[in-house]
Structure 1
Amino acid sequence: MRMTSVAVRRTYYLLGLGNALAASLIWGINTIFLLDAGLSNLEAFAANAFFTAGMVLFEVPTGVVADTWGRRPSFLLGTLTLAVSTALYVLLWQVGAGFWWWALVSVFIGLGFTFFSGATEAWLVDALTATGYDGEVEAVFARGQVFTGVGTLAGSVGGGYLAQFAGLGAPFVLRAGILVVMFVLAAVLMRDLGFTPDRSRGPLGEVRHIAANSVEYGWRVPAVRHLMLAAPFTGGVSIYVFYALQPHLLDLWGDPAAYGIAGLVAAITAGAQIAGGLVAPQLRRVFRRRTSGLLFAIGAGSVAVLLIGVVTNFWAVLGLIVVWGLLGSAALPLRQAYLNGLIPSRQRATILSFDSLMSSTGGVVLQPGLGRAADVWGYPATYLMSGALSLLALPFVALSRRQGAPADTATRPAPALPQA
């Protein structure tokens, strides 16, 4: 049966909802889970850094998998890899494993996420084009973000309280189960449309060919390159800010065992994600150029992070988290539409994966350093550092804006710009 653009969008929303639910079950308690396993702040954030290092190592190879074997196989591999690695996390927690075991499995978890990054987004854009969708790309990304936010909200709140009443390992077990269900749903519903994998060159030849084209249509295009160079500062800071909020909020609350309170971080972020998805189309109307919206969101979000490092009132910090999450979530569909409009279909998954790699690189570098700073000076000091670091993304977004790319204002994906 021929798939319509409506069916494509519904499948995208369902996959986003299910994956967000599975992933977010542990987000509210992940740092506490690692600390409960006997790791220090430095070791806990170093384990998270190994997770992002896994994403750095495997982003491009798994992007090539998506571009040579198909977006659907890549998605299926991601669900299986994450299910197995999540189960291994529970095993390490139960046996009291040493740090390097945590590091190894964290890399494996990073591998699982790289099968999703780029592939799902590329599948959507290609399938929408193939089925004749003529609406605004932001509208689909924004609505998808709403569904993702609903899943994140349910998972983060449920995961926090499940950990409080059934133990810290329970959300991880449930996460693995949901990922198995997502594998089945994707196998039934997901079809590669508007894209035909080309394996005529053989695996290694195809890797070289796609990697070379990805450099040509990605890194050598100034608008794309500058946007990617901003990613380590925004992405690297965001992952630390999110995970460090769990113990920081518990410190402000005064009860280190109130895991439900820790889950509020992910829940608030999820609520902001839903609201941001709803606000994104309006944000685009306020800013004619997508890069203008990005500059505003990054700048204002950085100020919110700086204030988290200064304010000591629990409820005021919750409000700042809402502002930070709302700004980031509202800007994300703008960035997705802008970047997708700059790159061609054949290299889309690989270039999107490389963009994610740049973001993960920031996490690899920044998380251990900020984690060590938290051990020495406390969490508030690291939020001041994080806010200052995220401001460094602004010049790169401004440089991307100066290229005058058609994708900065277009409603549909535009042809890639000429290389520099």
Structure 2
Amino acid sequence: MNTQARRIQGIYITLMLGNTLAASFIWGINTLFLLDAGLSNLEAFAANAFFTVGMVLFEVPTGVVADTVGRRASYLLGTVTLSVTTALYYLMWQISAPFWAWAVVSALLGLGFTFFSGAVEAWLVDALHFAGYEGSLEAVFGRGQMVSGVAMLGGSVAGGVIAQATTLGVPFLFRAGVLVAMFVVAYVLMKDLGFTPDRSTSTGRVVRGIWSASIEHGLRNPPVRWVMLAAPFTSGVSFYTFYALQPYLLELYGDPDAYSIAGLAAAVVAGAQVVGGYLAPHFRRLVHKRTTALIGGTLVSAVALGVLGLTEVFWVALALLVVWALIGSAEMPIRQAYLNDMIPSKQRATVLSFDSLMGNTGGVVIQPALGRAADVYSYGTSLALGGAIQLIAAPFLIGSRRQHSPADVAVTVPGSPAVTAPPPDEELQR
């Protein structure tokens, strides 16, 4: 690897580390923070839903910014937007702001994250091609994911400890500070190499083209469509579970001020992200079809979530959380590989963005609904209901399986071309 390519990878790792560290400072205590600000469970999860609404609304427009203005510009706009909205969160907590203010600022937080999505990855690939890098992109992305997992683990635990030692608002100040530092780092180090902004096409035409491609190669492609239709149920429940576990673990632990315990939820998910990424190819080799792994994982994680909502023992709940998080993390690379193998190269980014929108749509509806269930009944009941909702995804995944797409039985071996599945008689033996 030449010196320039090594430097580009170093910048990418630094950006991933800083982004995840900044974000994760508040992941372990976000729900407790909103409840402490005077919001009900319904309002707290509705505020999270507005964050998801922001991501849905702004995903495509900010993608256009990255392609027409520049990836570096998009990243810098993201750091500014997130640091300002994070500071506004702290201010609203101080003054016990009304719900509508939380809704507006939460949507703007979603805007900030959409400036990041796709821009950093596109910047990396363009820059590495410019530098003449001939190695594996998977290796680079893998290192980035592992660094993100470690940063999330450290940031979420640190956020809980800081909140316990000070107040629930201080981790938000840490987050804003790290984002300001990342703006300086990106401004100095990040250059658009190998990329020339395309301003020849109007923004409206670009957006219409993205939408048409998403429909044609997404919802009109049966095996892809069924996977996308499953996304709102799995993603929506995952969004809710991640944040609901904070107060639920505290409730089971028996100490409402043990904020470091609340941070365990985010820490477990972070650790699962690292371990699940490592286990995914091993998990895949245990089954012949990718949809087998996806359907089985959906069912097992739904059952784990249901039992998690019913238990009254803290350590049992923590063990079930580990199971739920590991299965979800191990499933994700398999799902990504399955989708990517069914999407043409030229439309890949647009269809994957549309898939993300489908998942976020589930978060918009399911989060406040389950938050209301927590208000009326309990956190445990809402988590058990979440497990039941996740089961709805299984028939859609079965629908994708019935299309018999070649991608379902494809096996990619590192360092060699993709190979197809074994002969039918060997499949029967499995």
TM-score w.r.t. structure 2 length? 0.87
> 2 CA distance for matches of 1:297 and 1:11?
35
- Do the aligned partners of 1:118 and 1:350 also contact (CA within 8 Å) in 2? no
> 1 CA distance for matches of 2:189 and 2:398?
40
Name 1:19's counterpart in structure 2.
Answer: 19
Q: How does 1:244-393 map to 2 (within 5 A)?
A: 244-287=244-287, 289-344=289-344, 346-393=346-393
**How many residues matched?**
414
Q: After alignment, is 55-64 or 336-345 more displaced? A: 336-345
Name 2:92's counterpart in structure 1.
Answer: 92
> How far apart are residue 25 of structure 1 and its match?
0.5
> 1 CA distance for matches of 2:269 and 2:20?
12
- Write the letter of the residue equivalent to 1:147: V
Of structures 1 and 2, the larger Rg is shown by 2
> How far apart are residue 330 of structure 1 and its match?
1.7
Matched, 1:62 2:50: no
> 2 CA distance for matches of 1:29 and 1:41?
14
Q: After alignment, is 3-12 or 80-89 more displaced? A: 3-12
- Write the letter of the residue equivalent to 2:17: L
- Write the letter of the residue equivalent to 2:301: G
> How far apart are residue 123 of structure 1 and its match?
4.7
In 2 relative to 1, CA 187–65 (structure 1 residues): closer, same or farther, beyond 3 Å? same
For residues 315-339 of structure 1, what are the alpha-carbon distances to aligned partners after superposition, in whole Å with 9 as ceiling and x for unaligned? Answer: 0100111111111112222233333
In 2 relative to 1, CA 338–187 (structure 1 residues): closer, same or farther, beyond 3 Å? farther
TM-score w.r.t. structure 1 length? 0.89
Structure 2 unpaired stretches of 5+: 419-430
> 1 CA distance for matches of 2:417 and 2:228?
18
For residues 141-164 of structure 1, what are the alpha-carbon distances to aligned partners after superposition, in whole Å with 9 as ceiling and x for unaligned? Answer: 444332111011111110001011
- Do the aligned partners of 1:15 and 1:186 also contact (CA within 8 Å) in 2? yes
> How far apart are residue 173 of structure 1 and its match?
0.7
Name 1:109's counterpart in structure 2.
Answer: 109
For residues 224-265 of structure 1, what are the alpha-carbon distances to aligned partners after superposition, in whole Å with 9 as ceiling and x for unaligned? Answer: 322222211111000101111111111111111111111111
> How far apart are residue 72 of structure 1 and its match?
3.6
Q: After alignment, is 338-347 or 171-180 more displaced? A: 338-347
Q: How does 1:141-180 map to 2 (within 5 A)?
A: 141-180=141-180
Q: How does 1:80-229 map to 2 (within 5 A)?
A: 80-123=80-123, 133=134, 135=136, 137=138, 140-190=140-190, 197-229=197-229
Which structure would you say has the larger RCO, counting Cα contacts within 8 Å and 6 or more residues apart? 1
Name 1:418's counterpart in structure 2.
Answer: none
In 2 relative to 1, CA 47–3 (structure 1 residues): closer, same or farther, beyond 3 Å? farther
In 2 relative to 1, CA 340–193 (structure 1 residues): closer, same or farther, beyond 3 Å? farther
> How far apart are residue 98 of structure 1 and its match?
0.8
**Cα root mean square deviation, aligned:** 2.9
> 1 CA distance for matches of 2:382 and 2:55?
24
Q: Percent identity?
A: 60
In 2 relative to 1, CA 162–60 (structure 1 residues): closer, same or farther, beyond 3 Å? same
> 1 CA distance for matches of 2:14 and 2:284?
25
Q: Secondary structure at the match of 1:309?
A: helix
> How far apart are residue 306 of structure 1 and its match?
1.0
- Do the aligned partners of 2:213 and 2:351 also contact (CA within 8 Å) in 1? no
> How far apart are residue 5 of structure 1 and its match?
5.9
Q: After alignment, is 361-370 or 216-225 more displaced? A: 216-225
- Do the aligned partners of 1:127 and 1:194 also contact (CA within 8 Å) in 2? yes
